[in-house]
Structure 1
Amino acid sequence: MASVAQFLRSKASQTVWSIEASASVYDAIAIMAHRQVGALIVAHEGRIAGIVTERDYARKIVLMDRSSRNTPVRDIMSTAVRYVGPEQTTEECMAIMTGHRIRYLPVIAAGQVIGMVSIGDLIKSQMSEQEHTIQQLEHYIHGNSSQSAHGGMQAGRWQV
């Protein structure tokens, strides 16, 4: 498995979007829609105060019949932010996300957010790795099959 640092380098966009805790939930959702992301880091006085996701919006605004224009992000954000470092593996990220039932993990190095990993990103990466492994196995099998068709195998042994 790749490290988070390697994974982040392979992402098309490495920008991490944020919003102030005092901003309205409406503004947060507008940024998410415009930037096509599902989560924002929430900042307060230049520090990470939490994370706000589309799930927070659905559960804490829509289902509670609150106004997104009149509710500040601080009222719906998650303050217990789980995060990873760049040296951790994508496998560790999957375990954290699955274990805590979360979809986004900020990546923090030297106290700074340097990236964001989503469960969708990790699944896509894992599928790509599996596809590569399958192609390698198929190449290996077809390579060996062509040897046996051309006399590469004699008396149950591979000819070296």
Structure 2
Amino acid sequence: MSVTVAQVLAAKPDGGHTVHTIGPDRTVLEALDLMAVKGIGALVVMAGLRIAGIVTERDYARKVELCHRSAATTRVEEIMTARVRYVEPTQTADECMALMTEHRMRHLPVLDAGRLSGIVSIGDLLKQQIADQQFTIEQLEHYIHGGPSLSRRAQG
């Protein structure tokens, strides 16, 4: 059984509750500054309570820097991706990976009952995948050496 998006969010340091956002009328420079300060690669663009888009470091590189535009005067809405793909907490990490791979993206906002509740990155999903693989390796090692197998419930 695959891990759910809710479980991936819960494994994040803050329980996945922090989502950094920016308004569409803000400058790309402000977005870059916020991403740098927070150590993240994407911001959800919010117009009131509605998701207007998502802006990433890749958007900056391709739509500002390569086009010789100014980050100080270009607005976020000019470079953001307006058609935002998202997932729900009940979806699986495998579904997220498939979506990210198919659409060549690295961040997925999480909507719970239509409201923004988190964001998962490719890094979050890879971290979860590595943890799952490590657990499987430990289970196999215990089996090979004749020890009792560990259950996920027993690990706590």
Provide TM-score, normalisation by structure 1. 0.87
How many Å separate the matches in 2 of 1:46 and 1:120?
Answer: 27
Aligned to 1:12: 13
Give the 4+ runs in structure 1 shifted more than 4 A. Answer: none
Structure 1: gaps spanning 5 or more residues: 145-160
User: 2:105 pairs with 91, 97, 102, which one?
Assistant: 102
Q: Matches of 1:111 and 1:28 in 2, distance apart?
A: 24
2:151 corresponds in structure 1 to none
Aligned residue for 2:4? 3
* Residue 45 (1) aligns with residue 82 (2): no
Counterparts in 2 of 1:60-71, with a 5 A limit? 60-71=63-74
TM-aligned CA deviation for residue 34 of structure 1 = 0.3
Cα deviation 1:6-54 (Å, max 9, x = unaligned)? 1111111320000000000000000000011110000113311000001
Rounded to whole Å, the distance in 2 between the matches of 1:46 and 1:88 is 23
The aligned counterpart of 2:79 is 76
Taking only aligned residues, the RMSD between alpha carbons, in angstroms, comes to: 1.0
* More deviation, 59-68/42-51: 42-51
SS in 2 for 1:143: coil
Larger radius of gyration: 1
Q: Secondary structure at the match of 1:115?
A: strand
Once residues 10 and 23 of structure 1 are traced to their aligned partners in structure 2, the CA distance between those partners, rounded to angstroms, is 31
- 1:51-104: per-residue Cα shift (whole Å, max 9, x none)? 000110110111111100000000000011000000000000000000111000
What percent identity do the matched residue pairs reach? 54
The match for 2:154 is: none
Give the secondary-structure state (helix, strand or coil) at the position aligned to 1:32.
helix
How far apart, CA to CA, are the structure 2 residues paired with 1:102 and 1:125? 18
TM-score w.r.t. length of structure 2: 0.90
Counterpart Cα distance in 2 of 1:86 and 1:143: 38
3-state SS, counterpart of residue 107 of structure 1: strand
Provide the rounded CA distance (Å) in 2 between the counterparts of 1:110 and 1:121: 22
User: Any unmatched runs of 5+ in structure 2?
Assistant: 148-156
1:135 aligns with 2:138: yes
